[in-house]
Amino acid sequence: MPSLCNASVLFLFCFLAVSLSVSARPATFLEDFRITWSDSHIRQIDGGRAIQLVLDQSSGCGFASKSKYLFGRVSMKIKLIPGDSAGTVTAFYMNSDTDAVRDELDFEFLGNRTGQPYTVQTNIYAHGKGDREQRVNLWFDPAADFHTYVIMWNHHHIVFYVDEVPIRVYKNNEARNIPYPKMQPMGVYSTLWEADDWATRGGLEKIDWSKAPFLAYYKDFDIEGCPVPGPANCATNAGNWWEGAGYQALNAMEARRYRWVRMNHMIYDYCTDKSRYPVTPPECMAGI
């Protein structure tokens, strides 16, 4: 009987430990984030489990994480502006917030005229160098429901996911003298703003303020990473789940989905823009 009793106690302890770790995860917006721009234009919903971002002629808005992180995974569910959203940009990104040598990982959702596909632009700044834009037309209506957008960042690669479909991969190729962000922690940011000088068809389509206010919705905020300041050895700990063997490269299914996106939905890639880069940037030949 003692062994059975010990097993039961161990099971109960493990169950409680798992339950506590899950329940301790941030449940509301204000546990992990703060409003950085125009608090009157960010409205909490469902006790802070979701938020509404508002853009009108008086202002856009923005928020940021309370902490910075060095490696990990950031995920949000977003429902974008419906209807005529031309000239608007909804952004979800990570940024080192350093002036001289910036690291940044960008999702930018570019508004559209009604009936046209929504475009998502990704960009990567490493050691102060950006201008690595890629654009993909989403294969669904991102304003009809919530969809999950993820930035995965570890020592091996950076991957942008849309509903578990990888749309962008940036490998760590420091051995080939290609810069890779790994020294500076980054905060998590989001903004909704007017950018009709470039956002839709290169600025040809202007924002129609008669359609305002423009509304975007966020929920299921999830940050798993090494907070800075925090444990000194966290970022170099190979035992972090996001550094595991299953996250060091795309698996076979992810690789097929990645190729499908690039073949069918990519509309711009700086790697193939000879007017900007007569010599192909070295990271473009790194593969996945």
Catalytically annotated residues? 104, 108
Closest CA to 242 of 69, 71, 21: 71
Beta strands in 154-265 (DSSP E): 157-162, 165-171, 186-194, 214-228
Strand-pairing partners, residue 122, are 107, 134
DSSP 8-state class, residue 205: S
| Whole-number Cα distances in Å, 218 to 62, 115, 222, 255 | 12, 23, 11, 28
Strand-pairing partners, residue 65, are 33
Query: 275: Cβ–Cβ under 8 A, 6 or more apart, which residues?
Result: none
